[in-house]
Amino acid sequence: MNGRQKKMLHRTLSLSLLKQRRPQLERHIVGSTNRWRFLKEPFSGDLLALSQMCKALSIDFDEILKDPDRACISQIQKLLTENLKNKAMQGGEADVILECLGFKWELHQPQLFQSGTLTKLYLRALSRGTMDPLTELEKLLKVRSPGKSKETSRIKKMTIALKINDPLVTKVAFATALKNLYMSEVELDMDDLVGVLASARILQFTALFQRCLASMINGLTPNTIRSFYLAGCKYQQEQLTKACEKWLEMNLVPLMGKNIQLRSIPQELLYKVLKSPSLFTFSEFHLLQTMLAWVYLQVNIKIQTFPIYETLMAFFDSFPRNCAFLDQDPGQTWMPLFLCLRLHGITRGKDLEELRHINLFPEAVLIRITANHYQALESGGDMAQLKDLATQAVRFGMFFTQEYTTHSEMIAVYGFFFEIKGVRHDVSSYSFYMQRIRHTDLEFSSPLCEDSLVNMRAERLVKYEIRAQTLVGDRWQEFRTNQITQKFGLRKPSCKSHILKFQTVGIPIYASFAFIFPIS
């Protein structure tokens, strides 16, 4: 065995032993040099080591460059940006010309390598050129290093092209994305945010993409909810879509319920929100009014002002009386949305009269609701058909703002009267509770006194839950009691519920009171 064969055998045995041991931080010698790399990842990002490895294993380096993904682009980016950091002269001549969207954009190497897409295009351009790609990459690592002159370190400027088919990517948004390659604190305009997100995704510019997501989550408003939600769905960003759903759960009734942008809410999103147990509403009838406005705006697409309630009533009353609106076209399309409503929670006589007057629901639905109400009244308020508090409870809500130190609302169900109340004890301490009140304690001018029944039962069994939600930064905080079953009397302390106490810096607070009257 000659000397060369001995060396090859020794090397083979050494590599075999290394593969057998495979410790966590095992290092593997590459080629015949002393360049090392960890085996934790397929490629550590060392381009010179990659070229030596290709030589040692008899792999065509040009073929590797034709498929840059095989060489771990993210690691190449990291290496190149570290090597070229603070060395490129951004004010000097550009290294690459990017042709995209009908424009030519001049880019420098350190900025180009922050984009995975541009890095791939650049490496592929190297492999297609007449120059030796290995030599060019080695020159790239040495370019503008100390002691090198511009003449000896210059790399040939090349042109790369990127075709974009995403209609969300506008020229302004793409220019903003490229600007972020050079400046990390570029202000993002809300109007262009979806386009910048789309551009960052195409460029594989992770830092900008995540920054856009954070800005969108923090920038949800009636004007942005639709576009942000659709972008989250398109790019499969569950974090963004969930944030949109949660925001709409809280603001569908108090904010969107009086805003012309209610029209823009997609039916799919609206359905998810209506099904959510966390949905906030002042009452079930308020939620119904919001849904009526949404339908009205879908039909009357040219209307640019939010309709008043009388306009809604007149619109639905204008349809033929021989068939309910939801049994007609396009009403059938929206039937699943209205089936999500808890119509059994509408108990006020005046509201029930309007529900029948607008000819919205099929007669069978109205008959069932009326029959359940009669049964509950005859049994002293027992809601025999309701079992699940999370999906069937009657809901009332309170919107507690900064201006309040104490805020309360009066509610009535089947002749039983309750006060729901919130108290701010200091800048960050709150408590919410409900208590039963006598009908004689109501002011004569109270709307509850109009056509209201009075139940004289001394005790009323109630199963209830109190929940409060508020936004702090980009996260929703939720505080809640357990599901409690309690007999409410007319005297203290039995007239008062458990108190939900908590501390938060969030404002406003969306407080929800959900309850049913079990059989007693």
Residue 91 in tokens: 């004010």
- Give the up-direction half-sphere exposure of residue 47: CA atoms within 13 A in the CB hemisphere: 24
pLDDT for 41 equals 43
Q: What's the number of CA atoms in the CB half-sphere (13 Å) around residue 251? A: 21
Q: Angle 386-390-393 (CA atoms, 0-180°, nearest 5)?
A: 45
Model pLDDT, residue 58: 52
pLDDT tens-place values along the chain, 520 residues long: 555 555 554 455 444 444 444 444 444 444 445 554 444 444 444 556 656 655 654 555 565 555 555 544 555 555 455 544 444 444 567 788 999 999 999 998 888 888 999 988 888 887 765 455 555 555 555 554 444 444 444 556 788 999 999 999 999 999 999 999 988 788 899 999 999 999 999 999 999 999 999 999 999 999 999 999 999 999 999 999 999 999 999 999 999 999 999 999 999 999 999 999 999 999 999 999 999 999 999 999 999 999 999 999 989 888 888 888 998 887 899 999 999 999 999 998 889 988 888 889 999 999 999 999 999 999 999 999 999 999 999 999 999 999 999 999 999 999 999 999 999 999 999 999 999 998 887 775 566 666 668 888 899 999 999 999 999 988 999 999 999 999 999 988 999 999 999 999 999 999 999 999 999 8
Q: Closest Cα partner for 294 from 307, 284, 282?
A: 307
Specify which residues 324 forms β-bridges with: none
3-state SS, residue 110 = helix
Per the listing, tokens 């030519």 go with: 104
List, in sequence order, every residue forming a beta bridge with 418; answer none if it has no partner: 411, 436
pTM greater than 0.85 = no
Spatial separation of the C-alpha atoms in residues 100 and 202, rounded to whole Å: 12
Side-chain-side CA neighbours of residue 472 (13 Å):
10
CA angle 271, 277, 281 (to 5 degrees): 80
Neighbours of 445 (CB within 10 A): 7
Strand-pairing partners, residue 36, are 29
